[in-house]
Amino acid sequence: MKKAFYYETPLVKIGIAEEHGAITNIFFGTSVAPEEFETAETPLIRKAHKQLQEYFSKKRTVFDLPLAPEGTAFERDVWDALLTIPYGKVRTYGDIAAKVGNPKACRAVGRANGANPISIIIPCHRVIGANGKLTGYSAGMEFKEFLLKLEDYLK
């Protein structure tokens, strides 16, 4: 069974879940929460929380955690592509679709992006519309804008 623990962040309360030695979920609001979990703070969850605190205080730009997101093969390909977006940079849905080898799959990339179970660490907030505008985020647009300002993409 997954173990999860909740923490406060600068804008929202988040949960961090792990199973079998890997982070499986970061959840808040309407984002992807694990179906069943036991509330417990494990050493790995504490490590993930510490890295998130460092990220929020601008002391960390890359996470170093074992990840095990659950999804389809296509979703996992999209999430792997998201992990290649550098801190402070963005990509469009089209960019990600091309990176996973299916340039016409922009909408499918959007669905996979929205289903990302490890938000922030797998940086789905770094994906924007083709017109350069911010698009949806499971924790709300205010949080997406906060994250992109934190990374100095937005001023």
| Cβ atoms 121, 61 nearer than 8 A | no
Q: What is the pTM of this model?
A: 0.93
pLDDT the model gives residue 95 = 97
Residue of 81, 85, 124, 148 marked catalytic: 124
Same fold: 2-56 with 73-150: no
The mean pLDDT of 25-32, rounded to a whole number, is 76
CATH number of 2-56: 3.30.160
pLDDT digits (tens, 9 = 90+) for 97-118: 999 999 999 999 999 999 999 9
* Domain residue ranges in the chain: 2-56, 73-150
Q: Tell me what pLDDT residue 84 has.
A: 98
pLDDT, greater one: 35 or 130: 130
**Residue 30 — pLDDT band, cuts 50, 70, 90?**
low
Q: Does domain 73-150 have CATH number 3.40.710.10?
A: no
Q: Residue 32: its pLDDT value, please? A: 64
Give the model's pLDDT for residue 5: 93
Q: Residue 44 above 80 pLDDT?
A: yes
Per residue in 60-84, pLDDT (tens digit) is: 999 999 999 999 999 999 999 999 9
User: Which are the contacts of 25, defined by CB distance < 8 A and separation ≥ 6?
Assistant: 2, 4, 15, 16, 17, 32, 33, 34, 117, 118
| Residue 106 falls in the annotated catalytic set | no
